[in-house]
Amino acid sequence: MRENADKFLIIGGMVTMIIHCALLSIPLAVYYILRKSFIRKFPGRLTEILTVFILPFIYVTFEYLYELPEVSFPWIIAGNAFTTAISKIQFIEITGVFGLSFWAVLVSCMLYVIFELAKKHEGGPSRIFKSRKILTLLAITIVLYIAPDFYSVFTLAREKYSGTASERKLKIAVIQPNINPWKKWGAKQTELVNDYAGMLINADSLKSELIILPETAVPFHLLDDFYIQKYLIFRNIIDSLKTPLLIGTPDIVYYNDSITVKKDYKENKSSKEKYDTFNSAVLIQPGEPKISHQKYAKIKLVIGSERMPYQERIPVLKNMVKWSVGLSSFQIGWDTTIFRIGDKAMFNTAICYESIYPEFFSKFIDKGAEFCVIITNDGWWGKLSGTHQHNQFAVLRAVENRRWIARCANTGISCFIDPYGNMYNETAINEKAIITGEVGLRNEKTFYTLHPSLFPDIITAIAGILVLSGTVAGISSRKKKSHEIQT
């Protein structure tokens, strides 16, 4: 655990993980009830076998529907487990990560059916592999398991999407400052900014066309006039380097006639001025006035840590939790933003936890992002598995949308990811580092980017039919049983 860590926040995070994982028992319970209903209505070995395959539809439907509300946690999508099996995930450019989940559960169901048949097979182990039924199912299972690899080979995915190929390129410098997130919010701000200034100058020596600093790199409202002197330090360096800077910063917005007031706004007690604070990314370009800076306010906020869900509808939730590290009570951003570096490139910036939402992430690419940036602060995890998992999930977003990703993390892991899912220049955790790389600029949109909800919608529709049919079967069998008892 890091120095000065908020123990309550750590415990809260662990409890959240346990609760969300426990919720995965819901699709299993639904599956169990449906299977029993069908078996009662249509008893027999064939029904017992066929009803096993209800599970992939119910499970993926739950994953998909669970991703949609504010109280969601796509971290636990089953397909997330396959980010290191790059040759098997290339087909998600059509289905998205939910296709991976469906494939994994389907293969598991096939293995379960084979195991059950083998267990009940007469004649002992020596005769199992003489059973035509078992051999047929085993062959189908093997085909299902290797089908994703065939897709990768036949579509020439590795050749098309590894490296930069013939794409237009942009050279990027990613700064990993490695600042303790627990201590940063109480640090001396001027010293922190001066430290960043030194790293910016070092990054410029690498002759990049964009420099990136991580999520909430500065623990104050960089664009607010109160911090003008600190802002000018960045401003002057960027002007002298003639290189744009993307930086994560808290942002404060005061509402006026031109800005629509959020329902759960904040209010200055003395001046009665309405305002909100946002977890934002700001692009500072050479020679550009502050008022013209492009910025994006985070939309998918971490439950409890950054915002209480549905607090605009239930006001009592708003001030229920406040952390000592400047994270609580952020407002939800307005819209997905596409940043422009002159006429060189267009890109999006996902902030931290937003990169685990597949459909949300694809909206940026559909709006014109030619490459993607993820800025994050995974220092809360230290060297625990969460840091590695969060980094790996970016592979799925790269493959789904066939986009290069530059990932900038405060304490690591920072890296570049190509559209095939290969990682380059990965940093170690808890190291101060500057990495550079060329990202390809792409305009093509995948089937998934254009239709991100199509596959899960189809699965959900089939699951709905199964649930309805199972309910009818259950009611019918109970009526029949009741009638038999009466007669």
pLDDT of residue 2 exceeding 60? no
pLDDT of residue 3 exceeding 60? no
Report the pLDDT value the prediction gives residue 303, as an integer from 0 to 100. Answer: 79
Average pLDDT over residues 141-149: 96
Q: Is 154 helix (H, G, I), strand (E, B) or coil?
A: helix
Q: Express each pLDDT in 23-61 by its tens digit.
A: 889 999 999 999 999 998 888 888 889 999 999 999 999
Sheet-wide strand order for 371-376: 339-341, 345-351, 371-376, 405-409, 415-417, 423-424
Tokens representing residue 282 in the block? 């700001």
Report the pLDDT value the prediction gives residue 324, as an integer from 0 to 100. Answer: 47
Of the listed ranges 84-93, 184-193, 283-292, 331-340, the one predicted with least confidence: 184-193
Report the pLDDT value the prediction gives residue 384, as an integer from 0 to 100. Answer: 79
Q: Express each pLDDT in 315-363 by its tens digit.
A: 766 666 555 445 557 888 988 999 999 889 999 999 998 999 999 999 9
DSSP 80-106: GGGTT-GGGSTTHHHH-HHHHHHHHHH
Judge whether 397 and 365 are in contact, CB under 8 Å: no
pLDDT of residue 153 exceeding 50? yes
Report the pLDDT value the prediction gives residue 319, as an integer from 0 to 100. Answer: 66
Q: Return all residues near 266 (Cβ < 8 A) that are at least 6 apart.
A: 274, 275, 276, 277, 329
Report the pLDDT value the prediction gives residue 8, as an integer from 0 to 100. Answer: 54
Report the pLDDT value the prediction gives residue 473, as an integer from 0 to 100. Answer: 86
Tokens representing residue 370 in the block? 């030619």
Q: Express each pLDDT in 292-314 by its tens digit.
A: 899 999 999 887 777 777 777 77
Of the listed ranges 123-137, 263-277, 366-380, the one predicted with least confidence: 123-137
Q: Return all residues near 351 (Cβ < 8 A) that are at least 6 apart.
A: 215, 248, 279, 280, 281, 296, 298, 374, 375, 376
Round to whole Å and give the CA distance between 301 and 441.
28
Q: Express each pLDDT in 98-140 by its tens digit.
A: 999 999 999 999 999 998 888 776 555 556 666 788 888 899 9
| Most confident stretch, 16-30, 185-199, 261-275, 387-401 | 387-401
**Confidence label for 20 from pLDDT (cuts 50, 70 and 90):** confident
Q: Return all residues near 107 (Cβ < 8 A) that are at least 6 apart.
A: 141, 144, 145
Judge whether 204 and 243 are in contact, CB under 8 Å: yes
Round to whole Å and give the CA distance between 277 and 268.
12
**Confidence label for 484 from pLDDT (cuts 50, 70 and 90):** low
Tokens representing residue 244 in the block? 């744009």
Q: What is the percent of the chain with per-residue pLDDT over 90, rounded to a whole number?
A: 58
**Confidence label for 262 from pLDDT (cuts 50, 70 and 90):** confident
- The DSSP 8-state label assigned to residue 425 in this structure reads S
| Most confident stretch, 65-79, 182-196, 214-228 | 214-228
Average pLDDT over residues 453-472: 95
**Confidence label for 278 from pLDDT (cuts 50, 70 and 90):** very high
Round to whole Å and give the CA distance between 314 and 181.
30
Sign, CA dihedral 49-53-59-62, equals negative
**Confidence label for 218 from pLDDT (cuts 50, 70 and 90):** very high
b/e 371-381 (16+ beta carbons within 10 angstroms → b): bbbbbbbbbbb
Nearest Cα residue to 280 out of 235, 312, 250? 250
Round to whole Å and give the CA distance between 136 and 374.
45
Looking at the DSSP bridge assignments, the partners of residue 251 are 278
Could you give all domains of the chain from N- to C-terminal order, each with its CATH number? 15-155+453-486 (no CATH), 168-450 (3.60.110.10)
**Confidence label for 86 from pLDDT (cuts 50, 70 and 90):** very high
Tokens representing residue 363 in the block? 């909206």
Q: What is the mean pLDDT of the chain?
A: 87
Burial group, residue 17, by CB count within 10 angstroms (0-12, 13-18, 19+): middle
Q: What is the percent of the chain with per-residue pLDDT over 70, rounded to a whole number?
A: 88
Round to whole Å and give the CA distance between 375 and 132.
54
Judge whether 325 and 337 are in contact, CB under 8 Å: no
Establish how many alpha carbons lie within 13 A of residue 242's alpha carbon, considering only the half-sphere containing its beta carbon. Answer: 1
Tokens representing residue 349 in the block? 């910036």
Round to whole Å and give the CA distance between 212 and 414.
11
**Confidence label for 435 from pLDDT (cuts 50, 70 and 90):** very high
Round to whole Å and give the CA distance between 366 and 354.
16
pLDDT of residue 223 exceeding 90? yes
Judge whether 406 and 388 are in contact, CB under 8 Å: no
Nearest Cα residue to 57 out of 341, 379, 464, 335? 464
- The DSSP 8-state label assigned to residue 346 in this structure reads E
Report the pLDDT value the prediction gives residue 247, as an integer from 0 to 100. Answer: 96
pLDDT of residue 390 exceeding 90? yes
Looking at the DSSP bridge assignments, the partners of residue 276 are 253
Report the pLDDT value the prediction gives residue 99, as an integer from 0 to 100. Answer: 97
Judge whether 338 and 369 are in contact, CB under 8 Å: yes
